[in-house]
Amino acid sequence: MKDKSEKKPSTLLTHSGRAGASHFGAVNPPVYHASTILFDSYADIINNRGDYTYGRRGTPTTRALEDVISGLENADGTLLLPSGLAACTLALLALCKQGNHVLVPDNAYESTRSFSQKILPDFGIETEIYDPTVSDISPLIRDNTTLIFLESPGSQTFEVMDLQMIIKIAREKNILTAMDNTWASPLFCKPLDMGIDVSIQSATKYVSGHADCLLGYVSARKEIYNRLKRMYGLMGLCVGPDDVAMTLRGVRTLDVRLKRHQESALTIARWLEQKEQVKYVHHPALDSHPQHDLWKRDFIGSGGLFAIELHPCSETQIAAMLDDMSLFGMGYSWGGYESLMIPVVLLRQLGPERGPLLRLHIGLEDVEDLLEDLAEGFKRFDNASA
């Protein structure tokens, strides 16, 4: 019998984190709502002895989800956080200190960039923004550089970073790396196996998959995990049991859902490449993407999120298209079962000027229905220019 760590992802997703014998044979772990947890003896409470000592420090529900995720990430430990942003900021705070220099890519999630530039300086930590398509990161590294933050692809313009180059240089110079891997999920990219020190997810997206809860996580190997856990505990971070339970339910179908997202998104992206209103489709899995070869090297799949860059047009045209979409909703986040489309306002320091951008998340609807909705939207777009 194979060890659990050797099993395929779909099997791990189905069987990890269950411990049925501990739950009287129930397939799903119970949802433990707990703050106070009673000790058996004076000796236990004096020595803080027990698998569970206080609700904020973990329950069987949180441990079940951590077990599933650590298996997917090939991690020694996982910490659950209230959001993806909380996961990013925990990594930055836990791995940096006063006097340090941090590199953050220009295509990182806007709130991660803002935290790095507006909050970290209050702790005496300097952030430098770098071009995610840099071919050699060495010139940006200083004697006090301690962390290189990564996000690949970026979730608005979808540049793919040369991860192997950055990892190699970081290791040579004893610099830590942390990667927001939300776009690919742990199924399509495994940062820790590549040599990255911290894998970060907004589990609000694909991992939970139903647009009904907020959750993030960090996964790491033992030494780095212990550093993260110390900061995690001192900051009083924890996640509510219901969000954990909903994520534990959603992650079971991650493999099935992600493959559907991928298939439908590629069909629609290729269709959009042929539309005269579209200047460029920003999707790393397309041959036309400038870093397609890097994507093929480091990723084994793509999800449902990409962007289209339109030829010059008016806001009236964009509004005419978006306001009356029947299947594509307008809303933040992504990774749920529903399709979304929003205008993107770029707040970038580096990189080329871009035309109007629309970001699409392709959900689980029938792809022909989605194509019909887009075709009708482009008709309204064209009519608004008359």
54 a catalytic residue: no
Choose, from 63, 113, 190, 205, the residue flagged as catalytic.
Answer: 205
- Strand ranges in the chain using DSSP code E only, listed in sequence order: 77-81, 101-105, 126-130, 145-151, 176-180, 198-202, 216-220, 278-282, 305-310, 340-344, 357-361
Q: In what order do the strands lie in the sheet with 278-282?
A: 278-282, 305-310, 357-361, 340-344
180 a catalytic residue: yes
Pairing of strands 101-105, 145-151: parallel
Q: Which residue, among 370, 196, 199, has the nearest Cα to 272 in the 3D structure? A: 370
Choose, from 18, 63, 109, 298, the residue flagged as catalytic.
Answer: 109
Choose, from 106, 162, 180, 255, the residue flagged as catalytic.
Answer: 180
8 a catalytic residue: no
d(CA 213, CA 120) in angstroms, rounded, equals 28
205 a catalytic residue: yes
Choose, from 7, 52, 56, 227, the residue flagged as catalytic.
Answer: 56
Which residues are 36's β-sheet partners?
54
What are the residue ranges of helices labelled H in 74-132? 84-95, 110-118
d(CA 85, CA 28) in angstroms, rounded, equals 28
> Residue 353: CB partners within 8 Å, gap ≥ 6?
none
Active site residues: 56, 109, 180, 205
